[in-house]
């Protein structure tokens, strides 16, 4: 069966520090992968998606970047965090034509 | 990008009550999904509705897709504390090869024992 992992689960970082969040998927190959950000108790905003290794599409201009160095690994990064980068970051993979399966998320607080 | 409007934003009820939450758009949905998200976890898909007028049931949850495919509702019968969470509707954006979803802002449901 397929599983999706994210780490760390929580992160507190100072403004201006770098960021690296990791997402890995097991039990499937060449999945579409997605990074979302969610403000407290609200809807999900798609940040990046990837249809294959090295292929990244950005949905919104921002202080973040994404990379896919391996088939089942998706990384979200920033060189210098802003206060507005705080939020709940979710990784997902595409399981069917439209179905997405989400990871447990990373709670990022920028102070 | 189509905007999905969900209402109400917040709903606080007692165990055993019934409730309905809505998802609307000014444009026609190609299809619509409902997700539930518990605090600190990722959303989990509940159902996908595709055909106008479609009704799907999942235990105490009933999902309806409007005849014109511009609105959808989720009705919960005899709510339980375990139903507490954020309910999100989502619509596919772009082709199936990308599989992108646009989400509404969600309804936060709290069911009190």
pLDDT tens, B15-31?
999 999 999 988 888 88
In whole angstroms, what is the distance from residue A70 CA to residue A78 CA?
19
Of the pLDDT bands very low, low, confident and very high (cuts 50, 70, 90), residue B41 is very high
Structure tokens at B25: 């758009």
Q: Give ∠ CA A13-A17-A21 in degrees, rounded to 5.
A: 65
User: What average pLDDT does this structure show over A57-65?
Assistant: 86
C-alpha B112: how far from its chain's center?
20
Q: Could you tell me if A88 and A6 are in contact, meaning their C-beta atoms sit under 8 angstroms apart? A: no
Model confidence at B1: pLDDT above 60: no
Q: What is residue A99's predicted lDDT score, i.e. its pLDDT?
A: 85
Domain ranges in chain A are 3-110
Task: Report CB contact under 8 Å: B31, A98.
Answer: yes
Q: pLDDT over 90 for what percent of chain A?
A: 80
Q: What is residue B13's predicted lDDT score, i.e. its pLDDT?
A: 97
Task: Report CB contact under 8 Å: B43, A49.
Answer: no
Report the gap between the CA of B41 and the closest CA in chain A (Å).
5
Q: Could you tell me if B12 and B21 are in contact, meaning their C-beta atoms sit under 8 angstroms apart? A: no
Q: What is residue B2's predicted lDDT score, i.e. its pLDDT?
A: 64
What are residue B88's DSSP bridge partners?
Answer: B35
Q: What is residue B103's predicted lDDT score, i.e. its pLDDT?
A: 92
Q: What is residue B18's predicted lDDT score, i.e. its pLDDT?
A: 98
Q: pLDDT over 90 for what percent of chain B?
A: 79
CATH label of the domain that carries residue B95: 2.60.40.10
Domain A3-110 has CATH 2.60.40.10: yes
Q: Could you tell me if B89 and B49 are in contact, meaning their C-beta atoms sit under 8 angstroms apart? A: no
Q: Which residue of B has its CA nearest to A40?
A: B39
| Domain interval for residue B37 | 5-112
| List of long-range contacts for B4-7, beta carbons under 8 Å, 24+ apart | B4/B89, B4/B90, B4/B91, B4/B102, B4/B103, B4/B104, B4/B105, B5/B104, B5/B105, B6/A43, B6/B87, B6/B88, B6/B89, B6/B104, B6/B105, B6/B106, B6/B107, B7/B107
User: What average pLDDT does this structure show over A81-97?
Assistant: 92
In whole angstroms, what is the distance from residue A18 CA to residue A16 CA?
7
Among A24-33, A56-65, A73-82, A87-96, the least confident range = A56-65
In whole angstroms, what is the distance from residue B43 CA to residue A63 CA?
25
Q: Give ∠ CA A63-A52-A82 in degrees, rounded to 5.
A: 10
**Total structural domains within chain B:** 1
Q: What is residue A104's predicted lDDT score, i.e. its pLDDT?
A: 95
> Nearest by CB to A98, which of B33, B41, B104?
B33
A-B Cβ pairs (cutoff 8 Å, strict): 62
């Amino acid at each position: 069966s397929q599983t999706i992992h994210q780490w760390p689960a929580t992160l507190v970082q100072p403004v201006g520090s770098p960021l690296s969040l990791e997402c890995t998927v097991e039990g499937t190959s060449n999945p579409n992968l997605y990074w979302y950000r969610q403000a407290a108790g609200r809807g999900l905003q798609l940040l990046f998606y990837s249809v294959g290794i090295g292929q990244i599409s950005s949905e919104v201009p921002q202080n973040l970047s994404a990379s896919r160095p391996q088939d089942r690994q998706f990384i979200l990064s920033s060189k210098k965090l802003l206060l507005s980068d705080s939020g709940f970051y979710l990784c997902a993979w595409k399981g069917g034509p439209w179905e997405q399966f989400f990871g447990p998320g990373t709670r990022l607080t920028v102070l | 990008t189509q905007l999905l409007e969900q209402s109400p934003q917040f709903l606080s009820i007692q165990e055993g009550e019934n409730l309905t939450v809505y998802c609307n758009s000014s444009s026609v949905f190609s299809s619509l999904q409902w997700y539930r998200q518990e605090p600190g976890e990722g959303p989990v898909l509940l159902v996908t509705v595709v055909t106008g007028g479609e009704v799907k049931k999942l235990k105490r949850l009933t999902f309806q897709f409007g005849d014109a495919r511009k609105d959808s509702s989720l009705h919960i019968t005899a709510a339980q504390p375990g139903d507490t969470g954020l309910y999100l509707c989502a619509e596919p954006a772009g082709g199936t090869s990308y599989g992108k979803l646009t989400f509404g802002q969600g309804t936060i449901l709290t069911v009190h024992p």
